[in-house]
Structure 1
Amino acid sequence: MKKTFKIAGILLLIAILYIVFTNYPKLELISGFSAKNVASGHFIDNRSLDLIEKSDNDIKLIRLANNTIDKSGNFATSSVFGLQKRKAVYREGLGSLLIDEDFDVTKPYLIPKRIQPKIDLPYPFGTNEPKDSAFSEVNYSKLNKAVANAFDKNKAVERRTRSVVILYKDHIIAEKYEDGFDKNSRILGWSMTKSITATYFGILQYQNKINLNNPAPISEWANDERSKITLNNLIQMNSGLEWEEKYDKICDATKMLFKSKDMGQVQLEKPLIGKPNSSWNYSSGTSNLLSKILRKQFKTQQEYLDFWYSSLIDKIGMYSMIVETDMTGTYVGSSYAWATTRDWAKFGLLYLHNGNWNGEQLFDASWSKYVSTPTATSDGKYGGHLWLNSGGKYPDAPRDLYYASGFQGQKVIIIPSKDLIIVRMGLTDDESFDFNEFLKEVLESFGK
């Protein structure tokens, strides 16, 4: 018996050594992802370590991480078999930050100044609870069934939906949450943050402060072929710059998010390998470069930090939203915005109303058309930092549908022809969650 245990122990050790050897270059990224997720999930949304490990971090290889939370010190640490230890610190007002060994945690830092008045109107335009509503054209029995079908039943772990909120004619007509989540739960939007980032260019354009057709204001590009890249090219992900975005490997995107101090700088330094307006390529680096460009539009760091909230987030009452920064203090415009599902729905509603929020115009109505128009060489699937259905990705949904989309199936879906906003937050994307079927069932709830 002892010999059997000894052999089993040796085999286990060999297996562990094999995993470590074959994945060692990834260990820093694994522990970085895990530490950041743990710190943000716990300190922003008050999730337990157990819940985070069983849900947010329930990803191949990420499961290898060993995690701890220091509540008194406001930080989380992660490592893999004790190797490549990483730390993420929480800072009130800025969320969590994955740091390196050189980062000075004692250095003072600025936080955004937020103005969040109570507005005596029902949701979505005020801070009161939504009014009860009933529309004769909505079959609520069908609708509730469609929403229920988006969630797992009998302890299955397949669809992994956390929340669904549906707005019709500015009213919530359906809302459901997974156990452990509710209307106050902040959920990471991942790449839906990109759509937030791009919106600031629409706001600045409406204020006559930028021209999208001008070359991107990057001095490092002034004397080479990149000087022809416009802001429009960047917003449409059509710059021609080199970039690799594959999350199952070490690539530009993963190194940027989990190793870089200055995330916008990573794309800035990439060479041109295509032609602007003829080389569509999805790039988180481009979104962070746009955030870096936004920062240069302001005289001070404080103005930059405040602008994100005063001109958009708090302006439309997304009071729960927190956008996290990189180590240089620049917002991670590609990936790190957290908000409640109801607040994510408000963002979609702003676009449904073409930039008008309860009577106040935040961006020109033409901006909505711009971001929802197919980008050249994207095969009809991408516009201006928003995804499109014009190419028929979801065949049973209207072609005018467009949406913000994030890792693991975070979606704010805008359907102008139906006056609908559909928000789904979860842990699975199209591979495991049939969005076309979900949309079809929701749309079938509306009578003729």
Structure 2
Amino acid sequence: MKILKRTFLFFAVTITLAVIYNYPKLNILSGYSAKNTASSIFLGERTLQFTDQTDNNFSPVNLATDKVDLKNEFASSSAFGLLTRKAIYREGLGTVLTLEDSDETASYLIPKRTKPDNITPFPFGNGPQKDTVFANVNYNKLNETVSSIFGKDKTRAVVVIYKDQIISEKYDNGFHKNSRILGWSMTKSIMSTVFGVLQHQNKINIQDKAPIDSWQNDTRKDITINNLLQMNSGLEWDENYDEISDATKMLFLERDMTKMQEEKQLVGSPNNSWNYSSGTSNLLSKIARKQFISHQEYLDFWYTDFIDKIGMNSMIVETDLAGNYVASSYAWATARDWGKFGLLYLHNGQWNGEQLFTKKWVDYVTTPTKGSKGTYGAQFWLNAEKQFKDVPKNMYFADGYQGQRVYVFPDQDLVLVRFGLTNFDENEFLKRILKSIK
């Protein structure tokens, strides 16, 4: 009998210690699953079954059990029944993980949006584009190339835009031209563009010191907004999604996602320590907020002066519980609207006759950051050192987790959008696309 009691006690203690040790991991695991489920359903308009079978079907996220309440607009995820996280939908702001019960009933401001123009032809509106056939485009070869990355590469959408016209477009089962898709870190490029608009309107100077009060009495006071945009601040940051890290704690445990990077210390020197950091992008969201008197103005500006201005009316940039746009990760839009974003850069900041930012801004975001080995500009990725060997050096792109991409080809008058669930052979794909347009 004593042996049985000791054995039972041993296993009870072992299980308790295992739960305590793994509790933070379970918190992040269930948090990811709840947030992803809620956004997939309430922004992407997918079903719970579809989300579980596609977006949440990888280890260890697939260990969580997901539920959705369509009436009350929330999703919950449980890790082995030991810990449950909830993500709620908020009109105009997307979904957010709650940290306490009061978050579910808290009041919040909503960005003001303009109505979509469904009459004007694409790209300046959402109406049918004018029929145009380009003699130099091999459409059979183009469409064959586009189709080649569906199936095993788990591509969900591809849109090819040449001279402002969609010349090829394809969607996987369950997706169509009106489907919102998460851009993940392409949101960083959206945030960078907000700074480009602010700079053009003389509301900010990116060469100024970062206006962070907590840095003013130590060596961090010398960090500029430019250093942050170029991911070259010298601040400590761990961008690791395979374990508990600064990035995962920020996205799934924090109320105010701008604070984690702000509180980090220097481990290098500004302009000499390139380090990719989602925390930096969210800190920049806070700096953008500082340019406005009211929070409502901050919420509105991203849309009125940029996103809705170019007809990206499907886009939703999600906020954290503190009301900051999650500039590192959470912008949703249709593939066509992401294509409009690429066109804005292809046209050097001009949209339908209006200059949102200057050619100098395009030059700025496409200039290699010191220490990045030619791969990074200012919240955009580059091909300056021919990482893609068969692609022009001046091609640049917005980049998101699992191969979300908006590629801009300045010399070819071309924008290419790709969404999916896995990375793919980009060089080969882009090379074949270019060969189909002579």
What letter is aligned with 2:388? Y
* Cα 1:103–1:194 shift into 2, 3 Å: farther
SS in 2 for 1:428: coil
Contact 1:245 1:284 in 2 (8 A): yes
Residue 446 (structure 1) aligns with: 437
What displacement does 1:422 show? 0.5
Contact 2:117 2:311 in 1 (8 A): no
2:334 paired with 1:340:
yes
Aligned mate of 2:286, from 285, 288, 292? 292
What displacement does 1:82 show? 0.5
For 1:17 and 1:269, how far apart are their aligned partners in 2? 33
SS in 2 for 1:291: helix
What letter is aligned with 1:104? D
Residue 145 (structure 2) aligns with: 146
Residue 129 (structure 1) aligns with: 128
2:426 paired with 1:435:
yes
For 1:19 and 1:172, how far apart are their aligned partners in 2? 54
Residue 193 (structure 1) aligns with: 187
What displacement does 1:59 show? 2.1
Residue 279 (structure 1) aligns with: 273
What letter is aligned with 1:342? R
Residue 357 (structure 2) aligns with: 363
Aligned mate of 1:202, from 164, 183, 196? 196
What letter is aligned with 1:113? K
The two structures, once aligned, show a CA RMSD in angstroms of 1.7
Residue 216 (structure 2) aligns with: 222
Residue 72 (structure 1) aligns with: 71
C-alpha distance after superposition, 1:279-306 (max 9, x if no partner)? 0000000000000111111111111110
Contact 2:204 2:291 in 1 (8 A): no
Where do 1:354-433 residues align within 5 Å? 354-429=348-423, 433=424
Residue 12 (structure 2) aligns with: none
2:34 paired with 1:35:
yes
What displacement does 1:19 show? 8.9
Contact 2:116 2:313 in 1 (8 A): no
Contact 2:390 2:427 in 1 (8 A): yes
For 1:130 and 1:56, how far apart are their aligned partners in 2? 32
What displacement does 1:121 show? 2.1
C-alpha distance after superposition, 1:416-442 (max 9, x if no partner)? 01111000000012xxx1111110111
* Cα 1:340–1:19 shift into 2, 3 Å: farther
Contact 1:380 1:390 in 2 (8 A): yes
What displacement does 1:366 show? 0.7
* Cα 1:24–1:105 shift into 2, 3 Å: closer
Residue 4 (structure 1) aligns with: none
Residue 241 (structure 1) aligns with: 235
Contact 2:37 2:48 in 1 (8 A): yes
What displacement does 1:103 show? 4.1
Contact 2:125 2:311 in 1 (8 A): yes
For 1:408 and 1:24, how far apart are their aligned partners in 2? 27
For 1:58 and 1:286, how far apart are their aligned partners in 2? 29
For 1:292 and 1:103, how far apart are their aligned partners in 2? 24
What displacement does 1:102 show? 5.2
Contact 2:65 2:79 in 1 (8 A): yes
What letter is aligned with 2:135? S
Contact 1:324 1:336 in 2 (8 A): yes
SS in 1 for 2:411: helix
* Cα 1:221–1:22 shift into 2, 3 Å: closer
For 1:207 and 1:101, how far apart are their aligned partners in 2? 39
Unaligned runs of at least 5 residues, structure 2: 1-14
Once the two structures are overlaid, the 10-residue window that deviates more, 103-112 or 379-388, is 103-112
SS in 2 for 1:45: coil
For 1:211 and 1:91, how far apart are their aligned partners in 2? 33
What displacement does 1:107 show? 2.1
For 2:283 and 2:349, how far apart are their aligned partners in 1? 24
What displacement does 1:198 show? 0.8
SS in 2 for 1:234: helix
Residue 118 (structure 1) aligns with: 117
Residue 9 (structure 1) aligns with: none
What letter is aligned with 2:90? R
What displacement does 1:120 show? 3.7
For 1:79 and 1:394, how far apart are their aligned partners in 2? 42
For 2:176 and 2:117, how far apart are their aligned partners in 1? 21
Contact 1:116 1:317 in 2 (8 A): no
Unaligned runs of at least 5 residues, structure 1: 1-15, 153-157
What displacement does 1:22 show? 7.3
Aligned mate of 2:321, from 323, 327, 333? 327
For 2:278 and 2:382, how far apart are their aligned partners in 1? 18
What letter is aligned with 2:431? K
Q: Please give the TM-score of this superposition, normalised by the length of structure 1.
A: 0.92
What displacement does 1:117 show? 4.7
SS in 2 for 1:263: coil
Once the two structures are overlaid, the 10-residue window that deviates more, 94-103 or 438-447, is 94-103
Residue 54 (structure 1) aligns with: 53
SS in 2 for 1:88: strand
For 2:133 and 2:57, how far apart are their aligned partners in 1? 39
What displacement does 1:132 show? 2.1
Aligned residues: 426
* Cα 1:119–1:161 shift into 2, 3 Å: closer
For 1:127 and 1:427, how far apart are their aligned partners in 2? 27
Contact 2:41 2:48 in 1 (8 A): yes
* Cα 1:107–1:123 shift into 2, 3 Å: same
Give percent identity, aligned residues only: 60
What letter is aligned with 1:299? I
What letter is aligned with 1:149? S
What displacement does 1:20 show? 6.3
What letter is aligned with 1:88? A
